[in-house]
Amino acid sequence: MKVLCWWLLGACLLGSCLEIQPSEIDTVPPTVIEFRPHGDDLAVDTEFTILFSEPVVFLPAPNALVVLLPAAEADGTFLADLDKPPLAAKQANRLHPCRIIVELEGMRVIVRPEAALEPGTEYRLLVSAAVTDLAGNGLVDKLRYDDSGRLTGIATHVGHDFTTRPGGVIISEILANPAGDESAGEYIEIVNLGTAPVDLSAWSLDDQGGQSPGDLLGPCTDGQDTHLVPGAIALLAGRDFLPPADLPESTLILCTDRTTLTPRGLRNTGDEILVLADPTGTQIDRYGGWIDQSTHEGCSAIRIDPWQPDTAANWTRSTADPCQSPGW
């Protein structure tokens, strides 16, 4: 009996010396630190990154809790359903298909659209309120201290709105140094990336960087349609232009009133800025004269990514065989 008492007394003294601390419980909820990229005028194939304040859990599945859809579709009914997964089939049909990739043990998520977004459209990227950290704390809008000095926040879904770059008519290919007669072979290729037909009658092409009214474009033959439908390609040329034999039959060709495309023909050296403008004189697209074609007869300059701006990095000289592709 005495031995037991001495043992208990020793254990109590030892515990007081070691200052045993109670285990801490995680009560701090997770937040979204950042959505990337920011802003509007984003490319239709943009990949998004979401950063969290700590590792988070996506149950039942990441693609049920991180979603992308047109902003107009994200109404109150959809948001309520999103926060209580899984989404009903009717709500899931609103989503834009994406691949959701979870990285860094749940601290980072990559959202990769599996199809191009619609141009000129407002979208919303959303993270459900059902996302939790490893301790089960639900997602909050932002952290703040409550009256007890604890970090907390309002439990809610978190979203990021953005707008895609407007679609429209862009310059996609330029052949300034054709093999053979220049006036018969040089052309500028354009494509309609928008969602509606565009009437190109009375549009103009200026080879002086927008400093002159430019030459009016119109049908090469009387009665020719001048509407460029979505996804279609057109060629701009002088009246002496001879379409190549393999030009797709549906390719629209518009001509200036000259035998050549521009007053002196396109410069082979590429050091001229071409501006495409609509009937109001508004610049629609431009080419900054990035590619020297003087030593590469018959090879065109091509735009690498039609959705990206006109920069030197977005143009290259074709190395394909053949090294021009009008209408394709």
Output the pLDDT for position 309: 84
The DSSP secondary structure of 39-50, one letter per residue, reads SSSB-TT--EEE
Specify the number of domains making up the chain.
Answer: 2
Q: Which two tokens stand for residue 4?
A: 């037991």
CATH assignment of the domain containing 303: 2.60.40
**Structural domain includes residue 14:** no
Could you tell me if 203 and 288 lie in one domain?
yes
Contact 60, 119 (CB under 8 A): no
Distance (Å, rounded) from C-alpha 299 to C-alpha 268? 11
Could you tell me if 138 and 187 lie in one domain?
no
Mean pLDDT score, 62-66: 96
Mean pLDDT score, 65-75: 97
7: pLDDT confidence band, cut at 50, 70 and 90?
A: very low
Q: What digits encode the pLDDT tens for the residues 252-287? A: 999 999 999 999 899 999 889 999 999 999 899 999
* Closest by Cα among 240, 277, 235, 289 to 260: 240
**Structural domain includes residue 6:** no
> pTM score, two decimals?
0.63
Contact 250, 191 (CB under 8 A): no
Distance (Å, rounded) from C-alpha 62 to C-alpha 322? 45
**Structural domain includes residue 1:** no
Judging by beta carbons within 10 Å of its beta carbon (0-12, 13-18, 19+), is residue 78 exposed, middle or buried? buried
Identify the three-state secondary structure at position 271: coil
Q: Which residue has the tokens 């033959």?
A: 221
Q: What digits encode the pLDDT tens for the residues 241-251? A: 999 999 998 89
Written as one letter, the residue type at 260 is T
Q: What digits encode the pLDDT tens for the residues 133-191? A: 999 999 999 999 999 889 999 999 999 999 998 889 999 999 999 999 999 999 999 99
Q: What digits encode the pLDDT tens for the residues 9-58? A: 444 444 444 444 445 789 999 999 999 998 788 888 899 999 999 999 99
Ramachandran region, residue 213 (left: φ > 0; alpha: ψ -120 to 50; beta: rest) = alpha
Contact 276, 205 (CB under 8 A): yes
CATH assignment of the domain containing 38: 2.60.40.1220
Report the greatest alpha carbon distance in the chain.
Answer: 119
Q: Which residue has the tokens 């549906």?
A: 250
The answer to whether residue 290 scores a pLDDT higher than 60 is: yes
Cis-peptide into 306, omega within 30 deg:
no
To the nearest whole percent, how much of the chain has pLDDT over 90?
76
Output the pLDDT for position 166: 81
Contact 301, 292 (CB under 8 A): no
Q: How far is CA 225 from the centre of its chain?
A: 32
210: pLDDT confidence band, cut at 50, 70 and 90?
A: confident
Could you tell me if 178 and 120 lie in one domain?
no
* Closest by Cα among 44, 51, 64, 42 to 116: 44
1: pLDDT confidence band, cut at 50, 70 and 90?
A: very low
Q: What digits encode the pLDDT tens for the residues 78-90? A: 999 999 999 999 9
Output the pLDDT for position 8: 42
Contact 77, 69 (CB under 8 A): no
**Structural domain includes residue 81:** yes
* Closest by Cα among 213, 204, 176 to 284: 204
Could you tell me if 59 and 116 lie in one domain?
yes
Local structure of residue 156 (DSSP, 8 states): -
Contact 97, 67 (CB under 8 A): no
Could you tell me if 44 and 182 lie in one domain?
no
Distance (Å, rounded) from C-alpha 162 to C-alpha 258? 44
The answer to whether residue 295 scores a pLDDT higher than 70 is: yes
Residue numbers of the domain that contains 37: 32-163
